[in-house]
Amino acid sequence: MSKERLVIVGGDAAGMSAATNARRRRSPEDLEIIVFDKGAFVSYAACGIPYFIGRAVDQVEKLLARRPEEFARVGIQVYTRHQVEAIDLSSRTVLVQPLEGGKAFREPFDHLLIATGAVPIRPPLPGMDAKGVFGVNNLEDALALDRYLEETGAQRAVIVGGGYIGLEMAEALCQRSLQVSLVEKEPQVMLTLDPDMAEPIAQALREIGVALYLGEALQGIEAANGRVRAVVTEARTIPADVVVLGMGVRPNTALAQEAGIPLGEKGSIVVNERMKSPIEGVWAAGDCAQSFHLVSRRPFWVALGTVANKHGRVAGINIAGGYATFPGVVGTAITKVCHLEVARTGLQERELRALGWEWVSARVEDHTRARYYPGSAPITVKLLAERDTGRILGGQIVGGEGSGKRIDVIATALHACLTAHEMANLDLAYAPPFAPVWDPLLNAARQLLRKL
């Protein structure tokens, strides 16, 4: 067999996970692996950025999983600061522009993996390019924001967007003693939760001093001498020394689209269960690739590090001639906001309404541990089940320490298509330091049963 070349565009979670998994199966003599990334870093934990900004993680180096030199040692050639500008499917080459200078060149491939991730959404509003307006999508962003905070002694921060990143950043900036406001166009924070479950999170943010302006769309940013001065919403003008954008992301697939590679859900690259695109030899993984939602049974797009790693692993194995599949996701996500652990999985009421499905829901207020055991904290569990079958369709959890990861039980139930009845009978672990004698999940399932 003559030597083959795998070119990977994008060197974060999905790309490097694919590279590593492909390398494990085929030697450098047999498969060349070349990674291009336009950034200065590869293989880093983007999800750790808010904790670096909030100083829970003291050095940015701790977020780097592996460096280019380490990949080089196993025969994976990583070129940082190299932008892939075009994919040519007829000649099977990519056009690469070195960003530190030098001429663009064409790199041939036998296999191409597109792992270009996601790009932050930045609506074309006045002042978005002012100094002091930051995204936190990658390590360069994070370092720039950190430096700006240090150098300017910024006091007043406005976060735009009340999703995971927005909330994590709001808390992080509070921890750095900034005065924080948060603007969100929807009437609730955390749109991936039902409104009743999102309310306690808004409350927790207010308690640590975050000013919340919900239901107010961003209209623009006011600057003075090119530097941010205020954030303007439909209802008010909020003075700001620094602005952090957390308005969501979309798949970074312009490159793929220009090359004629089919796009699907929200513009993500269409792939099969082996992460192959409809074009022979072209694969996609991570935030730029489509997933399948195992509960709605429809194509689904989600940008999450854990999914990106799974995509990358499956792509890498298949590219190297092995066999692996990624069946899909159930929509699990988790975060920590102030003292609250927040988690969700499956479909929420908004999604069920859009699908036209009928459901019943149960919400229980309970405790994380036996009430008499020290550290027992409140936990709220919401479960949704299909009206006629009783099949669990989703769950949401908000509560103190020990609440969040309970979502994994609901996620597993979704994978297995368990009904509320089956869930109410789960043999979950009980001892006073860990749960009440009826785990809150069992209580929620029993509550559902009464309504079905």
Task: Catalog residues that contact its own copies under the rule CB under 8 A.
Answer: 13, 45, 47-48, 51, 56-57, 62-63, 294, 304-307, 309-310, 326-336, 341, 343, 345, 370-374, 402, 404-409, 411-416, 418, 422, 425-435, 437-439, 441
The rounded distance, in Å, linking the Cα atoms of 321 and 335 is 37
The rounded distance, in Å, linking the Cα atoms of 185 and 164 is 15
CB nearer to its own copies: give 194 or 341.
341
Cβ atoms within 10 Å, residue 406: 23
Q: How far is the CB of 295 from its own copies (least distance, A)?
A: 10
Q: How far is the CB of 117 from its own copies (least distance, A)?
A: 15
Residue 64 near residue 43 (C-beta atoms within 8 A)? yes
CB nearer to its own copies: give 230 or 414.
414
The rounded distance, in Å, linking the Cα atoms of 158 and 134 is 11
Q: DSSP of 49-111, one letter per residue?
A: HHHHHTTSS--GGGGB---HHHHHHTTEEEETTEEEEEEETTTTEEEEEETTSS--EEEE-SE
Q: How far is the CB of 372 from its own copies (least distance, A)?
A: 4
The kind and range of the H/E element at 408 are helix 407-415
CB nearer to its own copies: give 101 or 323.
323
The rounded distance, in Å, linking the Cα atoms of 63 and 233 is 34
CB nearer to its own copies: give 263 or 426.
426
The rounded distance, in Å, linking the Cα atoms of 415 and 78 is 36
Question: Tokens 């990143």 — which residue?
Answer: 165
Calculate Rg over the CA atoms of the chain.
23
Q: How far is the CB of 340 from its own copies (least distance, A)?
A: 11
Strand bridging mode 93-98 / 105-108? antiparallel
The kind and range of the H/E element at 392 are strand 392-399
CB nearer to its own copies: give 215 or 299.
299
Residues with catalytic function: 47
As a whole number of Å, the end-to-end CA separation of the chain is 61
Q: How far is the CB of 408 from its own copies (least distance, A)?
A: 5
Q: How far is the CB of 135 from its own copies (least distance, A)?
A: 19
